[in-house]
Amino acid sequence: MSLLDRLRAQIAQDGPISVAEYFTRCLHDPRDGYYATRPALGAGGDFLTAPGVSQMFGELIGLWLLETWTRMGRPSPVRLVEMGPGDGTLISDILRAARLLPDFIEAADLWLVEVSAPLRALQAARLEGAAPTPRWADRLEAVPDGAPLLLVANEVLDCLPARQFVRTEGGWAERVVGLDEAGQLAFGLRALGPPPVGEAARRAGGGNLPSPHTPPSVAQGATPPPQGEDFPPGTLIESSPAQAALGAEIGHRVARDGGAALLIDYGRDTPGPGDTLQALKAHAKVSPLSEPGQADLTVWADFPAVLAAAVEAGAAAGPILPQGAFLEALGIGARAQVLAAARPDQAQILARQLDRLTGAAQMGGLFKVVCIHAPDLAVPLFEDA
């Protein structure tokens, strides 16, 4: 029985499910989930991330990590973590740049947080023989604590589920996935009852319980807006308990153990309404309900909520920088010139890569970069936090 058939059967028996639960089933169903069955990155996959555009992206992040580690006092060991490493391109480029400081390679205890078996295989193949030797974990909480943290998460927040709420004439209702009269998947609305608890809360949030370190106000924030908010009927609001929980977990770790985390994604830099749920297949948008498990689902990162959770957990965080400004401040223009001088035949390709990574109408403006770090650490480019 396909994932679509199993979802139909579940909904027919138990009733509609939250958008967050549907999102998680589509991506992580053990048998037919998107990430459980296929590597999806690159020109031959369904989407292309910044590391796949150019080696310059990962190299500059590697230099940022070296400078941050130096400002931390060069601790050894330091827990070097990449969340959602994809095919391993980003961490490979980071490590190549990091070899400029052999002491960093010696100090780094490398962990890759990855749930997808196909992607783990790609990462292992790409990093075969690399130093430091990587280890894997399913969740950040499974990475050992007790050492300062340097973490990179590129396009991770957008892969975490969000609930959706719609303002109606009678108040807020939750957007859910149910069945239409023909038995096909369809969006609908469900009246809000008491907040779910226990297993019901886990399923409603997409299978992600808040971190043990999530402050109560953050956990409670994973609910629709207050009834007093002046939104017209039809307004849709998204709320991601999983994104806030990740911000809280990272914030707790860097506040306790020291260090910094760099999060890069497309998303909001100010709170606001809007439906950001989308599905991508073969680099084209498709209906989120049309092919469950066959297309990648994403929602925008809610950076204000993530940073607020981190700060409440004891960390410093922000400001929110456009990816283009971040990379330009790190010297991507000069790096492109060096590469073009070494390979004149690649100059036009490098120019296109540079524009894609930094252009205001492309990744440079659409993607944002934030840093969560220990309160006493002056982090490169984020000293104002």
Q: Which residues contact 263 (CB under 8 A, 6 or more apart)?
A: 153, 156, 157, 301, 306, 369, 370, 371, 372
* Better pLDDT: 195 or 329: 329
Q: Please state the rounded mean pLDDT for residues 143-159.
A: 97
| Strand runs labelled E in 192-346 | 236-239, 259-268, 278-281, 284-286, 296-298, 301-302, 316-317, 321-322
Tell me the average pLDDT of the chain: 90
Judged against a pLDDT cut of 50, whether residue 42 lies above it is answered with no
Task: Dig out the tokens for 118 from the structure.
Answer: 């196909």
Does the pLDDT at position 203 exceed 60? no
Confidence of residue 223 (pLDDT cuts 50, 70, 90): low
Q: Give ∠ CA 79-82-87 in degrees, rounded to 5.
A: 140
Residue 64 to residue 261: CA distance in whole angstroms: 11
Statement: residue 208 has pLDDT above 60 = no
User: What pTM, to 2 d.p., does this model score?
Assistant: 0.90
pLDDT band for position 109 (cuts 50, 70, 90): very high
The number of angstroms, rounded, from the C-alpha of 96 to the middle of its chain's C-alpha atoms is 23
- Asked if omega into 75 is within 30° of 0 (cis), the reply is no
The answer for residues whose C-beta is within 8 angstroms of residue 2's C-beta and 6 or more apart is 32, 293
Amino acid identity, position 230: D
- What residue segments make up the domains of the chain, in order of their start? 1-385
Distance in angstroms (rounded) separating the CA atoms of residues 337 and 343: 10
What mean pLDDT comes out for the span 351-372? 95
Could you give the percent of the chain with pLDDT greater than 70?
87
Side-chain-side CA neighbours of residue 163 (13 Å) = 29
Residue 373 pLDDT: 98
For range 312-335, the mean pLDDT: 96
Instruction: Check: CB of residue 114 under 8 Å from CB of residue 123.
Output: yes
Cβ(148)–Cβ(257) under 8 Å?
A: yes
Phi-psi bin for 374: left (phi > 0), alpha (psi -120 to 50), beta? beta
> Average pLDDT, stretch 212-228?
53
| Helix (H), strand (E), coil (C) string for 353-383 | HHHHHHCCCCHHHHEEEEEEECCCCCCCCCC
Torsion of CA 257, 212, 275, 36, to 10 degrees: 90
Tell me what the mean pLDDT of segment 237-243 comes to: 94
CATH of 1-385, one of 2.60.120.260, 3.40.50.12710, 3.20.20.70, 3.10.129.10: 3.40.50.12710
Task: Give the pLDDT band (50/70/90) at residue 52.
Answer: confident
Q: Is 297 helix (H, G, I), strand (E, B) or coil?
A: strand
pLDDT at 226 exceeding the cut of 80: no
Q: How far apart are CA 364 and CA 362, in angstroms?
A: 5
Q: State the pLDDT at residue 43.
A: 44
DSSP 8-state symbol, 159: G
Per DSSP (E only), the strands in the chain are 17-18, 78-83, 108-113, 135-137, 149-154, 163-168, 171-179, 185-191, 236-239, 259-268, 278-281, 284-286, 296-298, 301-302, 316-317, 321-322, 367-373
Compute the distance between CA of residue 220 and CA of residue 236 in angstroms, rounded to an integer.
Answer: 19
CA Rg value for the chain: 21
Residues 257 and 79: their CA atoms lie apart, in Å, by: 10
Classify residue 208 by its DSSP letter.
-
Q: What is the pLDDT of residue 221?
A: 47
Cα separation, 177 vs 22, whole angstroms: 7
210 secondary structure, DSSP code: P
DSSP state of 296: E
Which has the closest alpha carbon to 119: 138, 95, 102? 138
Per-residue pLDDT of 333-351, as tens digits, reads 999 999 999 999 989 999 9
**Cβ partners under 8 Å of residue 243, min gap 6:** 157, 160, 162, 301, 302, 305, 306
Average pLDDT over residues 365-385: 93
